[in-house]
Structures are given as C-alpha cells and as structure tokens.
Amino acid sequence: MMNSGRREFLVGTGAAMAILGRARTANAGAATGPSKSTGAGQLSVEVMRLKLRHTWTTVMSSSDYRETILCRYSKDGVTGLGEGAPIKRYDENAKDALAKFDASPLRALFQSGDPWRHESLLGEMARLMPGQYALKAAISGAIADWIGQRLGVPLYRYFGLDPDKTPITTMSIGIDTPEITRKKTQEAAEFPVLKVKVGLDTDEATIEAVRSVTKKPLRVDANEGWKSKEQALQKLNWLADRGVELCEQPLPAAMLDEARWLRGKSRIPLFADEACKSIHDIPRLAEAFDGVNIKLDKCGGIFEALRMIHVARAHKLKVMLGCMISSSVSIAAAAHLSPLVDYADLDGGLLIANDPYRSMTAPAGKITLPDRPGLGLIPVENRGQGHP
Ligand code: MG
C-alpha cells in the first residue's frame, strides 16, 4: 500500500522545488557504469502543479494551472525521474491516478522487480493497471532515466539515435483574443514554425491576427473542433491559402470515414492526434491520415512511444512527437526520441512559469539534446520563489 506520508503535492513553492533539487543533485554523482543491482527499488509518485505563463485555451478547456504526475524510481543510489500529464479528453486526472496507484500492487512490483528487464517489468505494470497512461508514462520515464544514469549515457545514445537529426519544434499559440494572439506570436519570434490552435468560429480572426505579425509557416490543430467534413474542407482550403502546412485532428476522432474523404480532398497533410491513442489505432488510421501525433502521456511512455513510431513508419505514416503542457521531465523524454520523427511539437515546458528542471533546449526552435546521462535533467533551484 502507498505510504501517503511520502507523497508531496508540489505547488510551485521554493521549498518543495529545493527538496527535489537536492535529492536530484545528491544522486547525480552515483551515475556510473552498470553493475549488479543490489537492494530494493523505491517507487514514489507525486502531483506536480505547474503554473501557466498564459491562460491556456483550446476547444476543450481553459486553465491557469496544470497538474502532472511526477515519479521517482531509486535503486543502487541512483534516482530516475519521469513525468506524465493526465489528459482530460481520456478522463484522466492526477488525483485519480494517485488513488489508483495507492490501490495497486505497483509499489511492490517495482520494489522487487529488475529495471534492467524493463520489457517484462513494464509489461507487468500494463497488465496490472488498466488505463492511467499518464501514470505509466511517469513510471516508464523514471525507469528510462535510471537506466541511462546507471549506464552513464544520454537516452538518445541508449536508443542508438543521432542527436544532430532532431527536428525543429513548433511553439503553440492557444486560442485567445486577437490582441493576445498577436502578443503571443511576437513572443514566439525565435521559433521558425508556429502551431496555432483552431476549431472554433474565431479561427479566421485568430489566423489573421497571427498573420498580421508574421509570415512564417504555420501548423494548426483543430482538436476535433470542426463538426462536419464539409466545414472542415472549407476551413482547410482557407488555411492552405494562408501558408498553413498541416492540420491536426480536423474532425472528431470517431469520424474515420469522413476523415478518409477529407484526406482525399485536402491540399495540406492531415494528422491524427485524438484518434491515435494506442499502437492498435495506427493500422486503421493509415488510410485516413497522412501522419500521427504520438505523445508519451497519451500512449504510456517512452518505450511504448518508440514502438508506435516504428509501427507508424511500417504503415508509411509521417510522425509527429507531441506533448501536453508539462515540465522538462516529460518533454526531455520525448525529445530523446525526436531524431526519429518528421515533426515535433515539444513546447510544453516553455508554456509554464515554474519548470523545476531544465534539459533539452530549442535555440531558434532546433531541439538540442543534453549530453548528460539519462534524461539529462538539471534542477532549477528556487524557481518557485519567483526567479526567472
Ligand atoms: Mg493535437
């Protein structure tokens, strides 16, 4: 059973972040080469509360804070960190996830399980815990970070990937008034491509506001907001004329026949996001979309995302790596896989004001991976006390 005394609700206070930072720093020195595992593993999960830089609005919701799940896995003097952002669209939230974790045998599983045999260990986790993909992503990330630290290699190297082949990440512009949309677009001047949230009656005003500030390429995400194939086609034609290069999830996920029709007529590529939740969705999406948006929080973590990328490639689909609003812990896990994909939308950490860690950077939008073991996280001290 969960020792509830070990849980911490991190509300962005300096004290909480400093505790995390010290724990991380103390373990960093133990990241040497592999050796025999000794002793029991320790797995803990916490809720992390992230403050948004701007109120974030999409077709689905509007909020100033987001809660994600932070996992720590410790063994042999090394602590790995992982994060997952529960997705409302799939009825997940952080408090439910922790309650399910409390009631599950996962703590005992990871106490006695061998992290070097992570295929078996995480497979057993999947069997024991239906759903709860954000929780699984947090735990998988912590195991991956631990492995990388124990081996003394960055995760991209563990997966055999070329860090020079990372894509450019878009910066997302949430739905807002034209005035704030212009301001956000100006703030994103460093990014060569923007992703703009659409899917409402205000789409044209939003795009005109962005276009009043910049001529750079745009991608849009309708988040299932257009309700008929005819309306979606009309929107896509209008957007194509304004330099939009692709569109995510123009129609509700269940409208697969309509998506197939739309793909035959659209002048820009269409990507499945909400319709692409698990690896099993990919084969049937291949005729209705040009690509898929894979997110670690949505599919259950870094190892599952890697499998999905390969399955998508086998079906000749383009691949985007996306994210939810989350800290650098989650973003780093996705970034280490990014040399494998065509497009990246890994800006979740840039949308928050109290990121407790840093890892990947994105100068001029180019994902730049840290040459540090595991996820390569470095704690940002005192972030919660109002420091920049
Ligand atoms: Mg999307």
DSSP string spanning 307-370?
Answer: HHHHHHHHTT-EEEEE--S--HHHHHHHHHHGGG-SEE---GGGGBS--SEE--B-GGGB-B--
How much distance in Å is there from the Cα of 54 to the middle of ligand 1? 18
Ligand 1 mean position, distance from CA 293 (Å)? 7
What's the CA-to-centroid distance between 326 and ligand 1, angstroms?
Answer: 15
Spans in the chain with pLDDT lower than 50: 1-33, 384-388
Q: Tokens for 274?
A: 């909400």
Beta carbons of 263 and 288 less than 8 angstroms apart:
yes
Residue 66 one-letter amino acid: R
CA of 388 to the centre of ligand 1 (A): 29
Tell me the CA–centroid distance for residue 148 and ligand 1, in Å: 29
Helices (H), the chain: 14-28, 94-103, 106-112, 118-128, 133-151, 155-158, 178-187, 203-211, 229-240, 256-265, 282-285, 296-299, 302-314, 328-337
Distance of CA 124 from the midpoint of ligand 1 (Å): 30
Categorise residue 248: left if φ over 0, alpha if ψ from -120 to 50, beta otherwise.
Answer: beta
Task: Please count the CA atoms within 13 angstroms of the CA of 2 that sit on its side-chain side.
Answer: 17
Residue 13's pLDDT is 37
Distance 221 CA to ligand 1 centre (A): 5
* Sequence-distant (≥ 6) Cβ neighbours of residue 387 within 8 angstroms: none
* pLDDT at residue 42, rounded to an integer: 97
Distance 45 CA to ligand 1 centre (A): 26
Q: List, in order of start, the domains of the chain with CATH numbers.
A: 42-152 (3.30.390.10), 157-379 (3.20.20.120)
Task: Give residue 5's Cα distance to chain centre.
Answer: 28
- For residue 134, give Cα distances in angstroms to 47, 87, 293, 339, 345: 11, 8, 16, 23, 18
Ligand 1 centre from 81 Cα, in Å? 25
- Spacing, Cα 143 to ligand 1 middle (Å): 27
CB 50 within 8 A of CB 66: yes
CA 90–ligand 1 middle distance (angstroms): 13
Q: How far, in Å, from the CA of 297 to the mean position of ligand 1?
A: 12
- How remote is the CA of residue 220 from the centroid of ligand 1, in Å? 9
Q: How far does the centroid of ligand 1 lie from the alpha carbon of residue 384, in Å?
A: 29
CA–CA–CA angle 154, 325, 286 (5° rounding): 80
Cα 325 to averaged position of ligand 1 atoms, centre (Å): 12
- At residue 89, the 3 state secondary structure works out as helix
What is the average pLDDT value for the chain, to the nearest integer? Answer: 89
User: Is residue 38 helix, strand or coil?
Assistant: coil
Å from CA of 184 to ligand 1 middle: 19
pLDDT in tens, 21-31: 333 333 443 44
Q: How far apart are CA 356 and CA 345, in angstroms?
A: 20
Q: How far is the CA of 355 from the centre of ligand 1 (A)?
A: 22
Distance between Cα 25 and ligand 1 center (Å):
35
The sheet carrying 171-173 orders its strands as: 171-173, 194-197, 218-221, 244-248, 270-272, 291-295, 318-322, 343-344
Q: Of 248, 302, 298, which is closest to residue 277 (Cα–Cα)?
A: 298
Q: Looking at residue 35, what is its pLDDT?
A: 53
> Whole-model pTM above 0.75?
yes
The DSSP 8-state label assigned to residue 188 in this structure reads T
- 192: CA distance to ligand 1 center in Å? 19
| CA 273 to ligand 1 centroid distance, Å | 5
Which amino acid would we find at residue 334? A
SS3 per residue for 362-375: CHHHECECCCCCEC
Residue 238's pLDDT is 97
Q: Are strands 194-197 and 318-322 parallel, antiparallel or unpaired?
A: unpaired
Please tell me the distance between residue 333's alpha carbon and the centre of ligand 1 in angstroms.
Answer: 18
Report the separation in Å between the CA atom of 343 and the middle of ligand 1, taken as the mean of its atom positions. Answer: 12
